[in-house]
Amino acid sequence: MVEAARQGRGVLRYARPARRALREVRLPVVRPLIGVVYAVTQVWAILWHFVATVLYREPMFRYRCRRVGRRLTLEGAPPLIIGNGRIEVGDDVQVGSPCTWDVGPDAELIIGNRVSLNYRGVISVRDSVQIGDDTLVAGEAAIFDNTNHPVSPARRLAREAPSPAEVGPVVIGRNVWIGLRCTIMRGVVIGDNSVVAAGAVVTKSVPPNTVVAGNPAVVIKHLGDD
């Protein structure tokens, strides 16, 4: 039947023209009606987000943290928090969705005031990660204070945790801007007011008031007060 349709014979020869005709069908846009429908859907989305945040998302997030400051903003679902380490969040913090925070036992994640952590961010902590006030972390950024897996092939095959030598605290200063898809590795200190360009992989500490870029990241510019 299919072969006959290809040759323009049989009932199925009408299938392709019918499919094309159906793809051309469009409902007329009655603007007042569509405007009402659009407004209703927007109001419903806002109400649903508010109710979900107040009744479920924020209480669950606060339950997993040692301290959460005032005026927290969750843009969607709360971060997926793995582990039972100490998490402290300051005032006016904004958290995108989805995010994943892996905070191991006896580890600490300290987030300052007015920090923005954008969507699909990953933070892995085995010792300490501190993020200073007014810092902006763009989407899909990853912060690791550990190698996540041992470098040793034998230890990695045995599914062992990273050794103490493979763990180092990360300190991100005040008013730092970390760009899209950046990776911050263990033992790094990023100085105040610095900028980490999009896609950079930071393996060494960054001086204050500088712009770093590349893999591995290097200083490309010094910032003034303007």
149 is catalytic: yes
Task: Decide the pairing of beta strands 218-222 and 210-213.
Answer: antiparallel
How far, in Å, CA of 119 to CA of 199, rounded? 15
User: What is the C-alpha end-to-end distance of the chain, expressed in Å?
Assistant: 74
Which of 9, 149, 204, 222 is flagged as catalytic? 149
Range 34-57 burial, b when 16+ CB lie within 10 A, else e: eeeeeeeeeeeeeeeeeeebeeeb
**For residues 149 and 166, is the Cβ–Cβ distance under 8 A?**
no
Residue 94 gets which letter from DSSP? E
Handedness of CA 204, 192, 179, 68 (dihedral sign): positive
Put the strands of the sheet holding 100-103 in their side by side order: 80-82, 100-103, 122-125, 142-144, 183-184, 201-202
Q: Which of 79, 122, 125, 131 is nearest to 103 (CA)?
A: 125
Where in the sequence numbering do the catalytic residues fall? 149
